[in-house]
Chains A and B, each alone.
Chain A
Amino acid sequence: METTPLKPQGVKRCSKLQFSLWMAVAGAVLLWGVYAMYLVWYKGLNQTNMNDAYGFALWIWADLAVIALGGGAFFTGFLTYIIGQDKLKNIINYAVIIGFICYSSALLILAIDIGQPLRGWFIFWHANEHSMLTEVAFCLSCYFAVLTIEFIPLILENPKLEKIPFLHHLSHNMHSIMGVFAATGVFLSFFHQGSLGGVSGVLFGRPFSFREGINVWPWTFFLFTWSAAACGPCFTILVTWITEKLTQKKLVKDDVIHLLAKISGWMLATYIIAKIIDTIYWAMVTAPSMGFRLMDFYSNNPVYGIELLILEIVVCGIIPAAILITPRGRENKSLLMLAVVLAVIGVSVNRWVMVLQTLAVPVVPFEEWFMYAPSWQEVATTILPIAYGIILISLAHRYLPVFPQERELNPQN
């Protein structure tokens, strides 16, 4: 067993050589993404395949998807610190790390997407109060700060850092008022997740995504928050399972995973009912009132067929919800993993159609469908956060006590 003061005591980690090789592979992918990022910043947005029809493209989809998947941090934090589900303390650290990676990736992607990152602060200083995106920018940045604060005590628990008295006390004191930070995070998350849905819901010139709602908030506002709270924890479960497979160790007890899966399942079930009602009302009332039939949005193009709607609602909505709310379903490892994978795909498909299909659908009779394929620079910069996430998770797992149950579950160490 290899131990150094830098690593948590009593747990087994791979050799330095194995770790270095693993990091080198992830690092190479990261460098490819950084090179593409450099090209975009140096040469401009002409490096992308965005055009007048696609002001939002792959990056914004990736942004919305990682923010939804990172929703596991705020929802697990809400359940742990506010509702008092103490069992989830055994997975909250990992949920926070995953959330931190997702939100820092989202901010990085936005920094690339705005083309001129040096002027990124304009959205705070010269804020347009009538834009949903301003609210997103405010809450996203603030919530990232909250996630950083939630991540810091875990970093300070590194054996070497913990020996420094001030850092030891700081970690303890931050833990003691974590509920305050978590509550602020829930408030911020509710609004930015919602406002991301609001962006497409208020587009009255785009009948595919336009929705009615309450006051200034279209139904998509609530559906986006709901789906993030439902599918974010599924992503946490999925990443935990992948980590267990890669490290060949059990890291979290089954009862913790089952509890999170059960809550996720009920959130997903109620969300999908709301989504079905929303879709029926939109197809039968909203869209026809604007001169469109349902099949106008799903025909005469090579990509967007009605099967996409079935995939999102039935295959990646009803099926995973049914598995997760049934004790027998979530206690069967294969079915549980199938459900969380489907839920993750489902929320990603939802974000894809709300961003990209919205822009693809012709809105006047003489227009054709607008098709788009990303450039390699867009693809590389979208893969970049995955490599960054792998690196950060690997470092965190190696040097920080992320999983409180790891030692107990792996006594042979």
Chain B
Amino acid sequence: MFPFSFEWEWDIVHMVFHGALWYAISIVGLGLTYCIIKSVVDTARQKENTHH
């Protein structure tokens, strides 16, 4: 549920509960994104070094 859903209420329960969920999802998502981007960069560098 997002804050723009019609059921959303700006109270402590919603903020803590969904905040923790989105915090966990964000860490996992950012971690995965970092790995993918770094792998693309590493692969490109490796190719560049091979060409040189």
* Residues of A bordering B, CB below 8 Å: 124-127, 129-130, 134-135, 138-139, 142, 145-146, 149, 165-166, 169-170, 172-174, 177, 180-181, 184, 187-188, 191
> Complex Cα distance A149/B17, Å?
24
Q: CB within 8 A of B14: which of A129, A166, A169, A170?
A: A129
Q: How many A-B residue pairs have CB under 8 A?
A: 62
Which B residues are CB-close (under 8 A) to A125? 1, 5
Which of chain B's residues 3-52 have a Cβ closer than 8 Å to chain A?
A: 5, 7, 13-14, 17-18, 20-21, 24-25, 27-28, 31-32, 34-36, 38-40, 42-43, 46-47
B interface residues with partner A (beta carbon < 8 Å): 1, 5, 7, 13-14, 17-18, 20-21, 24-25, 27-28, 31-32, 34-36, 38-40, 42-43, 46-47
Closest Cβ of chain B to A380, distance in Å, is 34
A165-B43, A165-B46, A170-B36 given as contacts; is B28 within 8 A of A142 (CB)? yes
B17 touches A129 (CB 8 A): yes
Interfacial chain A residues near B20, Cβ < 8 Å: 191
With the chains together, A135 CA to B17 CA distance in Å?
A: 8
In angstroms, Cα B35 to Cα A112, docked, is: 34
Contact A127 B1 (CB under 8 A): yes
The 4 closest A-B pairs by CB, nearest first: A169-B39, A169-B42, A170-B39, A173-B35
Q: Note all chain A residues with C-beta closer than 8 A to B32.
A: 149
Q: When chains A and B are docked, how far (Å) is the Cα of A184 from the Cα of B32?
A: 13
Nearest residue, chain B, Cβ from A142: B24
Query: In the complex, which of the residues B1, B21, B40, B46 contacts A142, with contact meaning CB atoms closer than 8 Å?
Result: B21
**How far is the CB of A198 from the nearest CB of chain B, in Å?**
14
Complex interface: chain A residues within 8 A of B27 (CB) = 180, 184
